């Protein structure tokens, strides 16, 4: 039996959750991301805001220029993750395999559970109904013979859409005269190369396959198959151990040249990375540091370590890497672990065998928390669970940055 795949995509997910929870926001141009006076981008926005030209990933100041009367809100990722868990719980009921793409999006292989095309279409409509009735949110659903076709089907009638693409022939007929970017893997740069050769539509790809392959090699072979409706990719469930890294980063609202403060932020980020790694039972065999300077130049530094997810170890290595980079105003800082493994293979050194070394290791986190309390007057130890939620950590770090600035000004 030919595979049958459903692609489910929520409609303006973050904005829809906020409008569901606060009905006074409904029908208004709601923009989730940064505030207009802050650095940052649009995470998502309501369809009312999109009518003004606002879209995801747009610079927040450009969004404000286009829609000055919009309602701007910071995202509440804790809330969205909780709703996402509820969504995927509903969707996964009907899937033999589920591939989570984002908090609000997934591919579902329903081939066996549906048993037929009609059964799959029934499942898709049930998913739409349950998502609305149980969570008060709308989603767009596509049913198709392949992942690419299912994705395009879900986008065809947004918002609150439903569309079917049962065969490769139906897929090709739908997209034949559309821009080449409709094809999976064709981004802006690939489209530019194709356009320079006069290949602008899917029809052009089908008419000139040899030229596409000459221009793009293996990717060109893939694109020509896609233009014929060929896509045999399977729905692949996400497994945490397949992740390449676990990291956390923050962008400051004003550039930072205080490296004592940067080290304090690295410590909080290291603790956040430890918590994420612990949730999925993984360790890292390397620590990485990322900095973006005020001139937008980004650098990364890394170091291999014995497998660990200890915040103390991550922080010490990240600080060591920080001390080796140029000291210039910093816009963004991040830390992570990579070469992930499920095995903890501690490499003992001679000094590790000494009792005082073990004591220092266990005391590292409490001592650093006391340092932060003394410097900023915040009860980190008593509020760690709250602090590591995305928005709260951002606000905490911004408070710390401003506090350091006031302290420095007062000491001059």
**Cβ-based neighbour number of residue 397 at 10 Å:** 22
Q: What is the pTM of this model?
A: 0.75
- In this predicted model, what pLDDT tens digit does every residue of 289-305 receive, in sequence order? 999 999 999 999 999 98
Which residues, 6+ apart, have CB-to-CB distance to 142 below 8 Å? 6, 7, 124, 149, 150, 151, 152, 153, 154, 155, 156, 162, 163, 164, 165
The reply to whether 241-410 shares the fold of 13-76 is: no
- Using one digit for the tens of pLDDT, what is the confidence trace for 321-361? 999 999 999 999 999 999 888 766 544 444 444 445 444 56
Q: What is the number of helices (H) and of strands (E) in the chain?
A: 17, 12
**pLDDT value at 307 more than 90:** no
The 298-308 sheet, strands edge to edge = 245-256, 330-341, 283-293, 298-308
Tell me the CATH number for domain 241-410: 3.30.1490.100
In Å, how far are 22, 113, 164, 272, 325 from 99, measured between CA atoms? Answer: 31, 16, 19, 25, 39
Whether the Cβ atoms of residue 328 and residue 289 lie closer than 8 Å to each other: no
Rounded Cα gap, residues 368 and 361, in angstroms: 12
Q: Rounded to whole angstroms, how far apart are CA atoms 38 and 252?
A: 9
* Domain at 172-227, CATH from 2.60.40.10, 3.40.50.10710, 1.10.150.20, 3.30.70.1430: 1.10.150.20
3 state SS of 93: coil
List the single range of 24-28, 31-35, 341-345 with lowest mean pLDDT. Answer: 341-345
CA distance 154 to 197: 31
Q: What is the pLDDT of residue 63?
A: 97
From CA 224, how far away is CA 216, in angstroms rounded? 10
- Given a cut of 50, whether residue 110 has pLDDT beyond it is yes
In this structure, the dihedral spanned by the alpha carbons of residues 221, 224, 226 and 231, taken in order and rounded to 10 degrees, is -40
DSSP 228: T
Q: Where are the domains of the chain?
A: 13-76, 172-227, 241-410
Q: Tell me if residue 243 falls in helix, strand or coil.
A: coil
Residues annotated as catalytic are 105
Residue 409 has pLDDT above 60, yes or no: no
Residue 348's pLDDT is what?
Answer: 44
What ranges in 22-146 are assigned the alpha helix state H? Answer: 47-50, 60-66, 77-92, 111-114, 117-135
Which architecture, in CATH terms, is 13-76?
A: 3-Layer(aba) Sandwich (3.40)
Q: Mean pLDDT, the chain, as a whole number?
A: 89
First-last CA distance in the chain = 76
Residue 289 makes CB contacts below 8 A (sequence gap 6+) with 266, 300, 301, 302, 318, 321, 322, 325, 333, 334, 335
């Amino acid at each position: 039996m030919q595979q049958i795949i459903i692609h489910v995509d929520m409609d303006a997910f973050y904005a829809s959750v906020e409008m569901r929870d606060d009905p006074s926001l409904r029908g208004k141009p709601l923009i989730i991301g940064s505030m207009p006076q802050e650095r940052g981008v649009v995470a998502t926005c309501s369809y009312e805001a999109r009518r003004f030209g606002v879209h995801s990933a747009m610079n927040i100041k450009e969004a404000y220029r286009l829609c000055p009367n919009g309602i701007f809100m910071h995202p509440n990722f804790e809330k969205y993750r909780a709703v996402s868990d509820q969504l995927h719980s509903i969707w996964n009921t009907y899937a033999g395999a589920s591939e989570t793409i984002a908090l609000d999006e997934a591919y579902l292989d329903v081939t066996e559970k549906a048993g037929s095309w009609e059964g799959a279409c029934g499942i898709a409509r049930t998913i739409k109904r349950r998502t609305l009735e149980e969570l008060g949110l709308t989603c767009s659903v596509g049913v198709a013979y392949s992942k690419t076709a299912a994705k395009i089907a879900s986008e065809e009638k947004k918002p609150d859409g439903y569309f079917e693409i049962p065969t490769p022939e139906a897929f090709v007929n739908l997209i034949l005269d559309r821009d080449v970017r409709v094809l999976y893997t064709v981004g802006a740069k690939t489209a530019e190369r194709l356009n320079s050769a006069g290949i602008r539509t899917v029809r052009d790809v089908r008419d000139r396959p040899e030229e596409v392959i000459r221009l793009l090699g293996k990717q060109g072979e893939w694109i020509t198959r896609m233009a014929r409706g060929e896509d045999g990719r399977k729905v692949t469930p996400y497994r945490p151990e397949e992740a390449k890294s676990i990291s956390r980063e923050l962008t400051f609202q004003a550039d930072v040249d205080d490296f004592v403060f940067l080290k304090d932020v690295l410590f909080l980020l290291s603790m956040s990375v430890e918590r994420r790694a612990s949730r999925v039972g993984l360790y890292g065999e390397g620590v990485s540091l990322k900095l973006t300077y005020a001139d937008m130049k980004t650098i990364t530094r890394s170091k291999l370590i014995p497998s660990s997810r200890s915040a103390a170890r991550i922080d010490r290595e990240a600080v060591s890497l920080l001390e080796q980079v140029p000291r210039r105003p910093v816009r963004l800082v991040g830390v992570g672990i990579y070469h992930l493994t499920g095995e903890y293979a501690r490499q003992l050194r001679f000094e590790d065998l000494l009792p005082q070394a073990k004591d220092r290791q266990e005391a590292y986190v409490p001592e650093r928390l006391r340092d932060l309390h003394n410097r900023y007057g915040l009860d980190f130890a008593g509020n760690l669970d709250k602090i590591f939620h995305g928005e709260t950590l951002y606000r905490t770090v911004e408070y710390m940055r401003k506090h350091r600035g006031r302290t420095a000004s007062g000491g001059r």
